[in-house]
Structure 1
Amino acid sequence: MSPIKSPLANAVLRSFRENGKRPDAAVPVNGDGLKVATYNVHKCVGVDGRFDPDRIFEVIREISPDLIALQEADTRFGERTGLLDLKRIEAETGLVAVPVEASARAHGWHGNVLLFRDGAVRDIHREKLPGLEPRGALVTDIALNNGISLRVAAVHLGLLRWARRQQADHIIGLLGRRVEAPSVIMGDMNEWRLGDGSALKKFEAAFGSLPPARASFPARWPVLALDRIIANRDGLVADLAVHDSLLARAASDHLPLTALLDTSVLKGDSAPGDGLSAAAGL
């Protein structure tokens, strides 16, 4: 019998093998470095259909990141309204939201929120992404307390494949290619395939080999690696793990993806400049 060649079928089979061994506690990333994460919080609605921002807060506290990108942290329709208690998050975890000022009540930009623990924000760019759906990217230059400067793009790509390709092109043009500042893209890519028509293929062509895929969706039985952390420097993403705790399996339809950034590879690297690529149009 010939082997199954469908990428989805292979993902399902791999999921059955891996999920049969799921521990009750999340396996953390290992080593020294900057702990980062990306988490689609699904507007704080868990797999049980219950709106519960406290569960999202507790998952963030479990992860204990230095930097975390959240998606769907605001309501989507009408006036965007933030769904999390940012003051509580800051008081109990030390994480501060990058100020966006998109509207009086929103926490982020098109639902994208970036929280960081130590450092200073040097520049903030709010980008509208192409496509039929309202999508955006929040791009922030952060000077870390260890002397390293990093450009972080918090993104949530669209549901339509052609739109994701356009959005990937826009983000790549915005950040520049490998010769530009050290950059990390974190978010829900809504894509798991790596074929020629994939948005992920575009990131790979621009930034080099992608870090390994980790299935993060759906939370109850992860099959698809929709969430990604991508860097434009070899070795910067040193370790990856899905935060697969019992609480995380209930709090959202996605599991958080965590990574360890080895910032030692950036010693002597250029800091982000005063502006982004000319493609930004800011």
Structure 2
Amino acid sequence: MTLAVTAPPASAADRGHSVPLRIATYNIHAGAGSDGVFDLDRQAAALRALDADVIGLQEVDVHWGARSQGLDVAGELARRLGMRVSFAPIYSLDPVTAGEPRREYGVAVLSRFPVRSATNHEITRLSTQDENPVPAPAPGFGEVTLKVRGVPVQVFVTHLDYRADPAVREAQVADTRRIMARERAELPGARQFLLGDFNAEPSAPELAPLWKELRDAGAGTPATYPAEAPVKRIDYVTVGEGVRVRTVTVPEQPTASDHRPVVADVSLARRGPGRG
């Protein structure tokens, strides 16, 4: 079963001036399912079933270690799905053995469209790799620029801090808004998306500033975490101006990861600043 929220149908005139896009977000738990078993075949099948044009991924391993069999999970999923990939590491560590690839963990974007440019932005983080971390700028806020049937699109993918104290998330939201505003000014008319695991529910005070420029496409959809019996909605597709949300679904996928994916069918305005 798939649960969905559907918008009113578009008019013929609206369809003539817009471009369809299916976009999704999925925290893939480093390739492991809700049962803790690493299984890329299962995860690739779950991603393929979304039939999305663009997918933002969180908790992505690239040669990280034994938990993901030392694989380039981002590249392997892209290969199996026949999609392009852009990976933005949060952590990039020296290999255990000299000469082996660096051990990396972060976020990624899979796309059916060519990636015109990619940037790994820094936002405030509290490192899980330091014994005594302090909030500091660190990479892992990925951005790709696409051209979707003539419409410029900026896709950002993020994984916000998981701790109960919202202070780091508050700083991350401020960083996110600043970066997205700057990128929007550099490419006027681009349609913007922010995808990711925000580790907070929509009413959380630290997320409130995001809703000044972005719209939560999944408002009214079911919870996404934990996947087997979700009680929290912490995974998001959010949209900026010039994007009309048609349908949003939370596929009932309880095993491929410890989160459920979110999938949105949207229309991109070809021109003008209008907000759908």
State the TM-score bracket (shorter-chain normalisation).
0.7 to 0.9
Aligned with residue 157 of structure 1, among 143, 147, 160: 160
Alpha-carbon separation, structure 2, partners of 1:76 and 1:155: 20
Higher relative strand content: 2
Q: TM-score of the superposition, structure 2-length normalised?
A: 0.73
What is the CA RMSD across the aligned residues, in angstroms?
3.2
Q: Residue 227 of structure 1 aligns with which residue?
A: 235
Q: Residue 172 of structure 2 aligns with which residue?
A: 167
Instruction: Name the SS for the 1:126 alignment partner.
Output: strand
Q: Deviations over 1:85-114 (max 9, x none)?
A: 735643x53311126599685798x42010
Q: Report matched runs for 1:47-86 at 5 Å.
A: 47-74=34-61, 82-84=71-73, 86=75
Segment drifting more, 149-158 vs 212-221: 212-221
User: What count of residue pairs does the alignment treat as equivalent?
Assistant: 234
Segment drifting more, 159-168 vs 133-142: 133-142
Q: Residue 206 of structure 1 aligns with which residue?
A: 213
Q: Report matched runs for 1:1-282 at 5 Å.
A: 23=1, 26=2, 33-74=20-61, 82-84=71-73, 86-87=75-76, 89-90=78-79, 92-98=80-86, 105=101, 110-118=105-113, 120-133=114-127, 136-144=140-148, 146-160=149-163, 161-176=166-181, 181-195=190-204, 197-199=205-207, 201-207=208-214, 209-211=215-217, 212-214=219-221, 215-233=223-241, 235-244=243-252, 248-263=253-268, 265=269, 267-269=270-272
CA contact (8 A) 2:160 2:198 kept: yes
Q: Deviations over 1:173-217 (max 9, x none)?
A: 00108875321000100010414x322x1111233x433153111
Higher relative helix content: 1
Instruction: Name the SS for the 2:73 alignment partner.
Output: coil
Superposition deviation, residue 42 in structure 1: 0.7
CA contact (8 A) 1:82 1:107 kept: no
CA contact (8 A) 1:112 1:154 kept: yes
Aligned residue identity for 1:155:
T
CA contact (8 A) 1:74 1:106 kept: no
CA contact (8 A) 1:100 1:107 kept: no
Superposition deviation, residue 251 in structure 1: 1.2
Q: Deviations over 1:247-282 (max 9, x none)?
A: x2111110011011211x2x1248xxxxxxxxxxxx
Percent identity of paired positions between Structure 1 and Structure 2: 24
Aligned residue identity for 2:86:
V
Alpha-carbon separation, structure 2, partners of 1:258 and 1:127: 24
Gapped regions of structure 2 (runs ≥ 5): 10-18, 93-99, 129-138
CA contact (8 A) 1:29 1:260 kept: no
Instruction: Name the SS for the 1:169 alignment partner.
Output: helix
